[in-house]
Chain A
């Protein structure tokens, strides 16, 4: 589903390479975790996948279902089925969360040549999925992410993910800012979305998220390269020994 080949990238006018030859293949149904110390390029990787301006690919390619994504706009990537759950979801003042959800869903449907969803059909979907994530109708009337607590923000991200039904879910530090109860709700939400035709990339700093979202493959990213790949036990090893063993390797 996702194939990253020898990806080199830098941010803005600063020529310093942040990604220095990342290779990664994710197949449908798989959950990959990407771990790594601060500054290893984890968030950069997620922004580059989603196509953020200013993040420039200098070498290599990203294939999504066999086609290069590099020339695609962020909204085109979204319509193709890529979803990024943000580490810091952005506030949109004055726009009710419900309105945002509907606008996004219909924009994607339109881009794929599908009909817009009727309001009753949309409401039914939202109500079901919001209930699973402990999100009240009241919260959906509030402007998107404005004054949301850390937990509310992350639950809202997962709600968007479950409504938009992406093929590839990229989650950037979805556990940050969550207490243990909120973490469980979010992880359950993510696990419900696991399916044989959907892939997930979970970017995280800590192992604890992976107790709840159990990955098939774990990668260690350090200084812009994947330096080690293993099974879920690799995460436990990192938890015990830290990243020190790997920081030097990529130099």
Chain B
């Protein structure tokens, strides 16, 4: 691509913009002292230039958190987390990244290769220092995508920005909705997040607007720096529609061991929110050392009539996953969906599932969970379906399938059902199966290698869920699942 004058001008203007907001220089030297106290929270809030009420909100959460105990009911085990040994605010830029891809772990690069990730993206994902990243032209290409993307959204009236930016530009919206689905005191990790959250996404789709494109964290440039306490808030006004993609199929380089995110979704009358996640954080090494602890609270509120919230997730990473994306079906005729693929290999532990809380009349929900365990991993589905006494004609269908690969892994299904209304109809189906030697032999006899055979059988197993993912994500997710299970046979 020839560096035409326009290109050069555009790139220059982008550089100037960055300088203007001073993101890079300003944050570089920022780091809160180790440990957590009110001063650290004041520090975080001040650094972000937050309004006074936000600081109060954080402090209240912190005081509440001090009185709470870590939950122990999940089927996971890990050493005691020393919360005062952690840093709660540090700009990731402080830790110098590799100078170029030559310095990156070859194994990581091999995985990028398999996923078919372009070189430039590889550099970003591997954390190569920005000043060393490749060609200007290539950067320009990507930035121009982001620019046109932002213009399109603006035309439609959709707000899509970081939550810090939203606190500055749209404080009234944030104040109205933040904590309205996951209250400050909800649970140990959500409360911790409320006190110290670093950044995250904010989406507002006005009445009657169908968001013209899938919103992907990929397009939010700041994404690499959101840190360990991510906070996301998505609001769909009456009749609005939005599809949001979180995460990335590429393995993420991250030094933070504890992640405690909170995601809140609000769907008003006739609105629909579709939230898709692909999570592939570092799961730890072959001996189970290291790896991310992922303690997430995700909840959607179908606040209006005929509203719909749909969660789709593909979880392949993290050493420990503790995650229950849920729907509160408050509005009459509202609908909640949960589609999940949870893959565990090595020493990974997953305790994940969903909650469908039926409050309104004629509400319905659907749960399809596919758990795949390999290696020495433990994979638990834990789900609650409940009907309030006013939830006339509540309907739920749950299907939990587990697939075991090898002898040393475990799959567990823990469904809870509570109905206070005699008209509710809840259905639950569960299966546990193994990849049989006969299936493997049959596939291999047709020419598939051992790994190709496992990938094919597993992809067949998860098909119902893959179909729920947006097209471009689905292909990547299939590849990702195959890669996650490499070395699980033989």
Q: Write the residues of chain A forming the contact surface with B, with a CB cutoff of 8 angstroms.
A: 50-54, 73-75, 77-79, 83-84, 86, 89-95, 99-100, 103-105, 107-108, 111, 143, 160, 164
Return the chain A residue nearest B464 by Cβ: A94
Nearest CB in chain B: distance from A153 CB, A? 12
Q: Is the Cβ of B442 less than 8 Å from the Cβ of A89?
A: yes
Nearest CB in chain B: distance from A158 CB, A? 13
Q: Is the Cβ of A75 less than 8 Å from the Cβ of B444?
A: yes
Chain B 449-463 near chain A by CB (<8 Å), digits 1 or 0: 110100011011111
Select one of B448, B457, B459 contacting A75, CB under 8 A: B448
CA–CA, A50 to B464, complex, Å?
33
B443 at the interface (CB under 8 A from A): yes
Nearest CB in chain A: distance from B5 CB, A? 42
**What chain B residues lie within 8 Å of A77 (beta carbons)?**
445
Residues in B396-450 with C-beta less than 8 Å from chain A? 436-439, 441-450
**What chain A residues lie within 8 Å of B460 (beta carbons)?**
92-95, 143
Select one of B438, B447, B457 contacting A104, CB under 8 A: B447
**What chain A residues lie within 8 Å of B436 (beta carbons)?**
90
User: Known contacts A92-B457, A92-B460, A95-B457; is A74 also within 8 Å of B439 by CB?
Assistant: no
CA–CA, A99 to B478, complex, Å?
14
Q: Is the Cβ of B447 less than 8 Å from the Cβ of A92?
A: no
Q: 13 more A-B contacts (CB under 8 A) besides A77-B445, A78-B445, A111-B449?
A: A51-B444, A52-B441, A75-B444, A79-B447, A84-B445, A91-B439, A92-B443, A95-B456, A95-B460, A100-B446, A104-B446, A107-B446, A111-B447
Nearest CB in chain B: distance from A81 CB, A? 10
Interface residues on B, range: 20 to 34
Return the chain B residue nearest A161 by Cβ: B446
Q: Write the residues of chain B forming the contact surface with A, with a CB cutoff of 8 angstroms.
A: 436-439, 441-450, 452, 456-457, 459-464
4 shortest interchain CB distances as A-B pairs: A94-B460, A95-B460, A108-B447, A104-B446
Select one of B450, B456, B464 contacting A103, CB under 8 A: B456
CA–CA, A92 to B462, complex, Å?
12
Q: Is the Cβ of B439 less than 8 Å from the Cβ of A92?
A: yes
Q: Is the Cβ of B444 less than 8 Å from the Cβ of A103?
A: no
User: Known contacts A53-B437, A86-B442, A92-B456; is A107 also within 8 Å of B447 by CB?
Assistant: yes
**What chain B residues lie within 8 Å of A94 (beta carbons)?**
459-464
Nearest CB in chain A: distance from B451 CB, A? 10
Q: Is the Cβ of B463 less than 8 Å from the Cβ of A107?
A: no
CA–CA, A108 to B462, complex, Å?
25
CA–CA, A74 to B444, complex, Å?
6
CA–CA, A51 to B438, complex, Å?
12
**What chain B residues lie within 8 Å of A74 (beta carbons)?**
441, 444-445
User: Known contacts A53-B437, A74-B441, A92-B439; is A104 also within 8 Å of B448 by CB?
Assistant: yes
Select one of A52, A53, A164 contacting B446, CB under 8 A: A164
User: Known contacts A100-B456, A103-B452; is A90 also within 8 Å of B438 by CB?
Assistant: yes
Nearest CB in chain B: distance from A45 CB, A? 15
CA–CA, A107 to B449, complex, Å?
8
Q: Is the Cβ of A95 less than 8 Å from the Cβ of B444?
A: no
Q: Is the Cβ of B447 less than 8 Å from the Cβ of A164?
A: yes
**What chain A residues lie within 8 Å of B450 (beta carbons)?**
73, 75
Residue pairs across A and B with Cβ atoms less than 8 A apart, 25 shown, are A73-B444, A73-B449, A74-B444, A74-B445, A75-B445, A75-B448, A75-B449, A78-B446, A83-B445, A90-B436, A90-B441, A92-B442, A92-B456, A92-B460, A94-B462, A99-B456, A100-B456, A103-B448, A104-B443, A107-B448, A107-B449, A107-B452, A108-B447, A111-B447, A111-B449
